[in-house]
Chain A
Amino acid sequence: MIQLDFVTILYVGGIGLLAIGAAGLVICNNFFRILLALVVAEAGVNLLLVLVGYRGNAAAPILGFGPQGAQMVDPIPQVLVLTAIVIGVGVQALAISVLVRTYRSYGTLDVRELKARFEVDLAAEMGIESTPGSEAPAA
């Protein structure tokens, strides 16, 4: 029988968030939902990273905060996650602005439709005759 303690549940939750995000990345057909799945996966990874530095019954890494002489959790994963969150915000903002532009130009965020239209536009831009691939919708 596997003993389910507090830390195990948190680890399973982090892995679960990562799995939900990864599944969403593959299954979703809308670019906005893909971005949301990426955000969920990122939350799972951040949770896992913070948990790596967890110690039972330890205080937050602030001097004079916990009881005297108490152990403290590892501060380095927390700093890494702080960095990761800020970089994540930057990536999300950039992705959102590209999505806004794409929607304004094409009127859709559907992956398959955008792929077909990108191929046609790219072929026209390069001056070659477009050859509809196997995934192109029947005209």
Chain B
Amino acid sequence: MRNLAALLFTGGLSFLLLVIVSQLNLGETPMIVGQRMLNEAGAEVGAANIVTSVLLAYRAFDTLGELSVLFAAATTAGLVLGHRRSDAVPDPDGGFILRAGADLLFPLLLVVGFYIIIYGHLTPGGGFQGGVILAAAFFVGVLGRPGTSLDHGVIIFIEGFAGASFIGVGLWALFAEGQFLKPMLETGTVGDLVSAGTLPLLSLALGLKVGSELAGLLTALSDTEAGEP
């Protein structure tokens, strides 16, 4: 009975969405705000990647809010999971292949992560994507060697420093230009590595913050006691 009702509900929902979509002009989206940004972002912000210029210039305040949501989620997850008891059963060892693979992957992931963060205003990528890869670089080592853990003091320091520098760049713009998180400095030539003013700085702060938060979150998850209660 319940499954039947669920199927009816799902069918109705899909039918409704399909009807709405069939009324749309597929592939011919009217772009009003988007077209203006595509036309002006190169001169206004100076970043080749328009998605990054929307994320870190036009809607930078929204990104700051998103960072705080991620921070709240990571903190609450750590709070809920709690610390591992000292008498808990240790997790099984990762084995030689996993350990060697983790050691091999670590420098590669680190380079790729920083590359994606630093070139975030030129190529597809940016702070969030690169930050996740940085977190993976550190978490792979923890997966290979269960029982070891990342240094929480260092993680908290990087996280706080990155968050403070994001807000600091915003406050600098507020005092110099009167708008919080307004892009500062010369925009430079579109396509150069040193261009787009403060955008690469914001991108770096964002990447470090996301990376340290996710690394702390993943370590807290992997650090929980496994097995039966």
A-B CB contact pairs (8 Å), 15 listed? A23-B9, A26-B6, A27-B3, A56-B27, A62-B122, A63-B50, A72-B38, A74-B29, A75-B50, A76-B54, A86-B70, A97-B78, A101-B80, A103-B229, A104-B225
Residue of A8, A16, A53, A63 with most partner-chain B CB within 10 A:
A63
The total of chain A residues at the interface (CB under 8 A) is 50
Given A19-B14, A100-B81, CB of A62 within 8 Å of CB of B229: no
> What is the CB-to-nearest-CB distance from A8 to chain B, in angstroms, rounded to a whole number?
6
Main DSSP-derived SS at the A contact region: helix
Which of A79, A94, A103 has a CB less than 8 Å from the CB of B55? A79
Beta-carbon contacts under 8 Å, A74-102 to B = 74-76, 78-79, 82-83, 85-87, 89-91, 93-94, 96-98, 100-101
Interchain CB contact under 8 A, A97 and B225: no
* Assembled-state Cα–Cα distance A22/B14 (Å): 10
The total of chain B residues at the interface (CB under 8 A) is 59
Taking A79-B54, A86-B210, A107-B229 as given, write out 4 further A-B residue pairs in contact, using a Cβ cutoff of 8 Å, ordered by the A residue number.
A19-B13, A63-B191, A82-B55, A97-B78
* Assembled-state Cα–Cα distance A64/B37 (Å): 15
* Assembled-state Cα–Cα distance A54/B27 (Å): 5
> What is the CB-to-nearest-CB distance from A10 to chain B, in angstroms, rounded to a whole number?
9
Which of A74, A93, A107 has a CB less than 8 Å from the CB of B228? A107
Does residue A136 face the partner (Cβ distance < 8 Å to B)?
Answer: no
* Assembled-state Cα–Cα distance A53/B31 (Å): 8
- Residues of B close to A26: CB separation below 8 A: 2, 5-6, 9-10
Interchain CB contact under 8 A, B224 and A86: no
The interface of chain A, by Cβ under 8 A from chain B, is: 5, 7-8, 11-12, 15-16, 18-19, 22-23, 26-27, 52-56, 60-65, 72, 74-76, 78-79, 82-83, 85-87, 89-91, 93-94, 96-98, 100-101, 103-107
The interface of chain B, by Cβ under 8 A from chain A, is: 2-3, 5-7, 9-11, 13-14, 17-18, 21, 26-29, 31, 33-34, 37-38, 41-42, 48-51, 54-55, 59, 62-63, 66, 69-70, 72-74, 76-78, 80-81, 122-124, 128, 190-191, 210, 214, 217, 220-221, 224-225, 228-229
* Assembled-state Cα–Cα distance A89/B81 (Å): 17
Given A27-B6, A82-B51, A96-B221, CB of A55 within 8 Å of CB of B29: yes
Which of B18, B27, B38, B229 has a CB less than 8 Å from the CB of A7? B27
- Residues of B close to A86: CB separation below 8 A: 66, 70, 128, 210
